[in-house]
Amino acid sequence: AQTVTQSQPEMSVQEAETVTLSCTYDTSENNYYLFWYKQPPSRQMILVIRQEAYKQQNATENRFSVNFQKAAKSFSLKISDSQLGDTAMYFCAFMIGYGGATNKLIFGTGTLLAVQP
């Protein structure tokens, strides 16, 4: 069975600084996808970034980037120039990539990030 582990329940960062959130996963599959979702106090789930396991290049989306280490099964999220609006719970998620509609998203337990002014 696949598992996703986020070992940092809470983190804090100063505005404009950089912070890295950790995520590790366990799988015997070779084809899969990884995601980071953000959940602000509004409770809405927002996709931040996604990574295909077959791509060596790390994904980036503006101030958000990942460090994908396939051999180590690690998928960390780096937030640069942190903003107050980045305050949220962040979830790492994993999906096996067989193709088709049956793929299920497995979530970690989340990291609560507080951006301090």
Partner 1 sequence: NAGVTQTPKFQVLKTGQSMTLQCAQDMNHEYMSWYRQDPGMGLRLIHYSVGAGITDQGEVPNGYNVSRSTTEDFPLRLLSAAPSQTSVYFCASRLSGTENSPLHFGNGTRLTVT
Considering the complex, state which of residue 11 and residue 95 has its C-beta at the smaller distance from partner 1.
95
HEC readout, the chain: CCEEECCCCEEEEECCCCEEECCEEECCCCCEEEEEEEECCCCCCEEEEEEECCCCCCCEECCEEEEEECCCCEEEEEECCCCHHHCEEEEEEEEECCCCCCCCEEECCCEEEEEEC
Q: Which of 38, 97, 94, 26 is nearest to 64 (CA)?
A: 38
Among 56, 72, 102, 117, binds partner 1 (CB under 8 A): 102
Q: Does 110 sit near partner 1 (CB under 8 A)?
A: yes
Binding mask 13-52 for partner 1 (x = CB under 8 A): --------------------x-x------xxxx-x--x-x
Q: Does 73 sit near partner 1 (CB under 8 A)?
A: no
Q: Does 64 sit near partner 1 (CB under 8 A)?
A: no
Considering the complex, state which of residue 13 and residue 37 has its C-beta at the smaller distance from partner 1.
37
- Under the rule (CB under 8 A), what is the footprint of partner 1? 4, 6, 9, 33, 35, 42-45, 47, 50, 52, 91, 95, 97-110
